[in-house]
Amino acid sequence: MNRIRVLLFGACREAAGQSELNLEFGDSPNVLEVFGELKRLHSSLGAFEPSVLFAVNEEHAQRDQVLNDGDTLAIFPPVSGGDEGDIFEITREPIDKPGLEARVLTGAAGAVVTFDGVVRNQTKGRAVIRLAYDAYVPMAIKEMSRIGREMRDRWPDIERIGIIHRFGDLDVSESSVVIVVTSPHRRVAFEACHYAIDRLKQTVPVWKKEVFEDGEVWVEGEMS
């Protein structure tokens, strides 16, 4: 008997009405077979099949990957994703931007570039009351660390990297993500910081829901 732990995030979690469940299979199922069983239990998940993403034990997985007893399968909609001294964190608390800058600043740095992604009050003219972020925390931290390694490969002169993403409910003008890059020279810091936010949108499993006066919607494949 193979017991598979399933975690659901974002709109997938809401469609199923639960965030976690355990399924048992006689043989070792692949990812798509587990999802098929989930669709049988929660037919509303079928709408996500063309674009849904999977991770097995906190690593991105293909649909034909085989799972074994005790594995954890995470299922989520498309993502809106260090070396010693680098900082990669997910938090429910307000982000301390000056504090993060101080934590990564060293005497060798001649430039500090900070990206602060904040909650805006409208989307395409529709008033936003707040945002609600969901995150697969262990995998998100791993993915941010992976981005940090990519940055260091591209820009070896980087001194330090700090990335903190918040989840939970955020009000207008609050910071959802802060990225700080320090380096001896400004060009490296600017380019690396720009790269970091673009990669974060692509791979880090954090999703946002926009809450309006007259409804709410999960935003797939984008980040504020």
Q: How would you class 98 by CB atoms within 10 Å of its CB: exposed for 0-12, middle for 13-18, buried for 19 or more?
A: exposed
Contact 176/93 with Cβ under 8 angstroms? no
* CATH architecture assignment, domain 2-76: Roll (3.10)
Give the tens place of pLDDT for each residue, 7-66: 999 889 999 999 999 999 999 999 999 999 999 999 999 988 877 889 999 988 999 999
pLDDT in tens, 67-101: 999 999 999 876 654 556 899 999 988 999 999 99
Q: What is the pLDDT of residues 1-17, one digit of tens each?
A: 899 999 999 889 999 99
3-state SS assignment for residue 185: coil
One of 3.90.1170.40, 3.40.190.10, 2.60.40.1890, 3.50.50.60 is the CATH number of 87-219, namely 3.90.1170.40
Average pLDDT, the chain: 92
What is the structure's pLDDT at 49?
85
> How big, in percent rounded to 5, are the helix, strand and coil portions of the chain?
30, 35, 35
Q: Is the pLDDT of residue 224 over 50?
A: no
What gap in Å lies between CA 23 and CA 75, rounded to an integer? 14
87-219 shares the fold of 2-76: no
Residue 99 burial by Cβ neighbours in a 10 Å radius (0-12, 13-18, 19+): exposed
pLDDT of the residue at 83 = 55
Beta bridge partner(s), residue 54: 75
DSSP assignment of 37-79 = HHHHH-GGGGGGTTT-EEEETTEE--TT-B--TT-EEEEEPPP
The confidence score (pLDDT) of residue 179 equals 98
**Domain extent listing, the chain:** 2-76, 87-219
Give the pLDDT confidence score for residue 48 in this predicted structure. Answer: 85
pLDDT of residue 81: 43
Q: Which pTM was predicted?
A: 0.76
Mean pLDDT for 155-178 is: 96
- In this predicted model, which residue has the larger pLDDT, 51 or 212? 212
Give residue-wise pLDDT tens across range 117-166.
999 999 988 999 999 999 999 899 999 999 999 999 999 999 999 999 99
Q: How confident is the model at residue 222 (pLDDT cuts 50, 70, 90)?
A: very low
| Model confidence at 196: pLDDT above 60 | yes
Indicate the helix (H) or strand (E) that contains 130. strand 126-135
